[in-house]
Structure 1
Amino acid sequence: MTHPIHLDHHRFDLGHGRGVVVSGGLVVAMALGAAARDLHEVLWEELLSASNVRPVAPTETVGALSYVLSRTPVEGSDALEELVVRTLGVVDLTPSAELADVPLPRALFTLESERPSAYDDCCREHGLHALEGRVACVVTRRLLRLR
């Protein structure tokens, strides 16, 4: 976080915090922090992949949408399950309020691309205009949790 584009508002700020960007690692952490509210009793987790799709400015908020890609019981234990979860970090959007009654397509969570335009095209194709241009990061992880 010592690169000038993260710190030097005098040189890189284009007004209202634009131009200066938040470090990608912090964006992923903010998205996972927002997603953690919905995933309880997690005992262990492993980061499988993470990519920053678009930059986030210091003045933007980060929310999250998660989808369970797979769920399997842990052999030898009736109390544990393993989940593979894909989380989308979204900027300046409160999913619980702005997407409460909107069905989200599985294609949005299974898209294998790091291009912002691929996520925008998917949102446009499925009529998710509130989400268009807002996907900031995509994180896939494996969780071990109590059932």
Structure 2
Amino acid sequence: MTGFLGEYEVSVDAKGRFLLPAGFKKQLEGGEMRFVVNRGFEKCLTLYPIKSWEPVFEKISQLNQFDPKVREFRRKFLGGATEIEADSAGRLLLPPSLRAYAGLTKNVVLASDVNKIEIWDADTYNKMFDDFSSEDFSALANDVMNEKGGEL
């Protein structure tokens, strides 16, 4: 897998389950339907395919446990991390505490983020783009891409 592409709006049922869109399923390496879901850095969730999660976890496990900042980061980052797997109907279950953290309601947006998928409340996600002008987007792209010397 080279990464995810796409953005999909899906519904979450009363139990917190949703179907991963076919567009994302096709992009999964070997059709693997095991993931780790975690708090995102913004008010969203991050869904890591298990193969994308493993190097993240490995790197975190090698951090200096005697550093108070490392302990705080690990506590906050790993505390909510939950392994999930699709049920027989192909649904993924989001834990209630993580749904509450991200303010997820019935309608959510699944948005690609290179090797992972962000899960946003649909209204929050759409507002983020409504409040973001094309000029802001251009300036952000210029700032970020110039640091790496790349072009789009």
Superposition TM-score tier, normalisation by shorter sequence: under 0.3
Which protein is richer in helix relative to its size?
A: 2
* TM value normalised by structure 2: 0.27
Which protein is richer in strand relative to its size?
A: 1
* TM value normalised by structure 1: 0.27
